[in-house]
Amino acid sequence: MTVPTRTALVTGASAGIGATFARTLAAEGLDLVLVARRKDRLDELAQELTDAHGVRCEVLAADLSDPGAPRAIMAFVEDRGLVVDVLVNNAGMSGSTAFAETPWDSLAAELQVMVTAVTELTHLVVPGMKQRRWGRIVNLSSLAAFAPPGESLLYTGIKSYVLDMSQALDMELKPFGVHVTALCPGFTHSEFHQTMGSAEAASALPSVLWQEPEAVVRAGWASVNAGKPVCVPGLVNKVLSHGMRPVPFRLQYVLGRTFNPFKH
């Protein structure tokens, strides 16, 4: 019996961790739906992956700060006769100015991209995954989720939400064969800091704090397949995460699943 090819949807796929996820999944034979704002980058990546691995790559230029983007993405997927077996919620951004001085439109876009769109895309793909009794969801959180709040920044709070939401959904969905993992990288070589205007400050950090996107993706993909709800890639990052939070995340997960007063 022929096993149908699985399909992965990757947001923020034009560079960095997102593009590396696309390359990793294509090498394993998964078809891909690549989503980002820069269509030229997506087209180049799709051609590279099709030539190298013979997989099907569909490309959609979409801005996840648009509230209609998640449903438009799923309509695009359905119109092409595909289903989402693997979801990588990678698209991200971060403000670099004081909260009070930042226009609301910019703050709303940050929340839309990294909170609402992540949650809505997950909500849209979960029913099909449950029905097929198999699915993998990787939500990009951050080492910042374990850190104290940064002055003026929404980023630590947003990434803490992604961390907690991912664990909560993994508790609910694991009995249906659906694994959800919060991937929490530290400083990773990508275009993120250039885009956010923080490249100069980031470059002054010790090299021991940095990872390549390939190492981050390998750890995240292995973790979600192994059913681990949280992945902090790299020894240094693991030490930092445990030092910043007094209760280890594995114990938090057990306590949250065991002592939830609202659980049906």
CA distance 217 to 224: 11
Structure tokens at 119: 């949650």
The DSSP secondary-structure symbol of 142 reads -
* Sequence-ordered strand ranges (E) for the chain: 7-11, 31-36, 57-61, 86-89, 135-140, 178-183, 187-188, 210-211, 230-231
Strand order in the sheet with 57-61: 57-61, 31-36, 7-11, 86-89, 135-140, 178-183, 230-231
Catalytic residue among 39, 130, 155, 253: 155
CA distance 256 to 250: 10
CA distance 228 to 230: 6
Q: What are phi and psi of 121, to 5 degrees?
A: -60, -40
Which residue is it, tokens 């059913």? Answer: 227
The H-or-E segment that residue 202 falls in is helix 199-203
Q: Quick check: is 130 catalytic?
A: no
Q: Quick check: is 161 catalytic?
A: no
Catalytic residue among 39, 130, 159, 263: 159
- Active-site residue list: 155, 159
